[in-house]
Structure 1
Amino acid sequence: MGAPLLRLDSVSKPSLGLHGVSLAIPMGATTVLLGAAGSGRTGVLRLLAGLASPDTGRLLLDGAPFDRPPPGWRGAGLWQPLGTPGRLRTVEQVVTAPVLGLPPRERAAHVARALTAFGLDGQEAQRVDRLGELPQRRLALARAIAPLPSLLLLDEPFAGLDQALRERLALELRAVLREAGMTAVLATREREEALLLAAHLAVLEDGQVAQEGTPQQLYDEPASAAVAALTGECNRLPGTVLALEEAECQVRLDCGPELWTRRGDVAGPGSRCVVAVRPERVAVAAMRAEEMGEGALPAALRDIIFRGDHWRLELELGRGGSLIAKRPAGSRVPRPGGPAAVAWDPYAGFAFRVFR
């Protein structure tokens, strides 16, 4: 990953829902802003696009104020949906529009490069209103990259597409951005999209960056229950902190069992918490907990669902606790109603403060 191209240093803009955002955007990589509605994703993009200025804090570009770009800076390009074609009726006209100020030979090269990147070469004369949904999305992306901006900004570019088309187009965009070595910032609320596209992932919550790093870092080492939930499916077992010991803590789950787990952002003994653990980290065995070994917890398998590449196991933990486990397809699993025990590595779970 490249050195930071842009830095947001304690940036606040309450009218955009931003309250002290600090974020480093690496050069030549895709940064994804992941968060729920109202988290501040779009506000960050508006600042980077120059459509608003921070009330407090600084935006730095290559270490200098954002409003003093260095030589060779080609500006920020903001992706926008096609909307109504209007007078730009052909594919070529749409992609040519943002590069009209270039000399003819350079302009033609930019247009050809953008169309080829998204598989639209040979369709230059095609009317936009006769394109299907997926080609229209490709065309909007081709228009955005045609000027080769120094910074490409995309706000929910796949919104409204079904899951299969979202993933297909996201993979195409990933390949294009990597080949071009372009710096991009994309805002989304979809975790699968974020994990697929991001070289650098930032989770936003309440107008602040809750955590940033690689997708794997945030998935494996979430800083809070909110980050854990946003980055992937996660069991959340409510309980009470009993004791703290360096990087670990002891928790009594509301459903009865006591366990040791990694210490997240929990407060001291007596405080309420949730223990978060990914379903694929939960081992399940058809035996009593005592037979499974130290750290195993008694459970009852209520249902098992075949999902193609894995089994999804729905278990009752202790007295009324609910737990999901995932096992690879082809693996042996207990039968519903029979004896079962569950276990996971203490470092695979985290005790976090309760969040809404």
Structure 2
Amino acid sequence: MLIPIPCVVMRGGTSKGPFFLLDDLPHDEATRNRVLLAAMGSPDRRQIDGLGGGDSLTSKVVMVSKSARPGIDVEYLFAQVSIDSETVDTSPNCGNMLAGVAPFAIEHGLVAAGMPTTRVRVFNRNTGKVVEAVVQTPGGKVNYEGDVHIDGVPGSGAPILLNFLDAAGAKTGRLLPTGRVQDVIDGVPVSCVDFSSPIVFIAAASLGKSGYESKAQLDGDSALLARLEAIRLEAAQRMGMGDVRGKVLPKLVLLARPAQGGQISSRYFVPWNCHAAHAVTGALCVAAACSIPGTIAAELVQPDAAQPGLIGIEHPSGRLDTRVQIDGRDDDGLPLIRSAGVVRTAKPIVSGVVYVPGSAWEATV
């Protein structure tokens, strides 16, 4: 028998995937993972038997629940579902998909809508951090239409402001996981920074690249990808993350000076191929790294004197603007980054049920 599970397929930022109420899924993690794999149609490169789109940016799942934590409205668990293996990874966060969490929560009665906007405090179970989302709700209804355009998405939509609060050390517990602003791995200078997501930053020129290459150019360079993976594996060990073979964290970013009017150019890897645009959590980490003296990012960034805190990040599909709020320095001279914000859009695409084989639920039925 096929089992129907309610869900809403939504676009969040430059990503897309099904949103579930956590209570509609198995409580046992192993069983839940089997259900999510079946729902997405994995493992299969085309994901022809499920909701996945055969791309890492469209093989993502969001699970939302009401929160009992003081001062928190809802909780959000993100899962990156592998396309061609039986892997469901809940170690990373996804800031793009996060854009859909507050609208989904309001529309499902988990949060009461205000007017003209609604502030939703979201606890991210992947990182243990809090994000404040501000959604347009004129007349007490979620509005998705507007004039905000984000590069990598056609058309425009209503703005959804995401403020990431105290996101330093999201996975490793430290803003600089190795304790240094720069390390050298395989003869290449790198900066390992953990803000919202742990990232290994490399100057593109250190690897013979301009930093302005297209996704196709970078994805077609097998020698580069192999070297990046070797650097990533060693960096993870130094960051205290252990053996990360087969895991998506930490991510990698190639940086260069800006060429299109922004503050820095970035090529974000997910991690085995280049992102078509840029991850939100990755962008926030880029912005944080630009604020730390001595990092690879700080050496390449060109700040806008007229707009302190603005870091416009150029990526293969355009530009993503972030804003960082710094409240002084700590005893080590590192910036105290209280919040980092970004504006995204989201849109529900279809609402209904996804059917999974009963065998996927066999441990709970």
Same fold (TM over 0.5): no
Give the greater-gyration-radius structure (CA): 1
- The structure with more helix, counted as a fraction of residues: 1
State the TM-score, normalizing by the size of structure 1.
0.23
State the TM-score, normalizing by the size of structure 2.
0.22
